[in-house]
Amino acid sequence: MVYRNQHIQWFFCLLMMGVTSLSFADITSTQEPVHINADEIRFEKEFNKATALGRVSIIKGTSKLTAEKVEAYFSTGEKKNKIYLIKAFKNVKIENPNHVATGDDGIYDLETEEIILEGNVTVNDHKNSVRGAYGVMNQKTGITRVLNHNPRQSKPKKCSQVSALLVSNE
């Protein structure tokens, strides 16, 4: 089933249950509406997958995820239709009023509660900024790591060093 040029709100509540953690914000209200804009939205029941394509924008409250493509993968067992993995592709940007994180591509594993950004990663709080090739944001611990290489590759290609700009509060 394919929906084109739609403002689809129920892609979702299910999707945003996961995406709320992508936002770096503690959004606990499930009553807040989810606004999704894309050029195309597909539901692939046989693959337990939903895909938003083209200028994707997903907004819940003050949190926003943008990318060229977003895929949500659903479980099939006893927790049927629960999202366990979200992938975002091309020009990924995750933002709220306090933080912005960008990368070429991103993955959010809802089971481990880790967000991984790959390629041209920047994490900032509108004053301080860290740049590198790979970033891991652990939503359980609150720890963010930015690296100069992808540790998941067998022979990681290292880029230049990680750089940071830190601004004094004085």
Domains along the sequence of the chain with CATH:
2-165 (2.60.450.10)
CB 67 within 8 A of CB 93: yes
Digitized pLDDT (tens) for each residue of the chain, 170 residues in all: 344 333 333 333 334 333 333 333 333 345 677 788 999 999 888 888 989 999 999 888 888 999 999 998 888 877 666 788 889 999 999 998 888 999 999 998 888 889 999 999 999 988 889 999 999 988 888 888 999 888 877 776 666 788 888 887 76
Return the number of other C-beta atoms located less than 10 Å from residue 153's C-beta: 10
Q: How far is 112 from 121, CA to CA, in rounded Å? A: 20
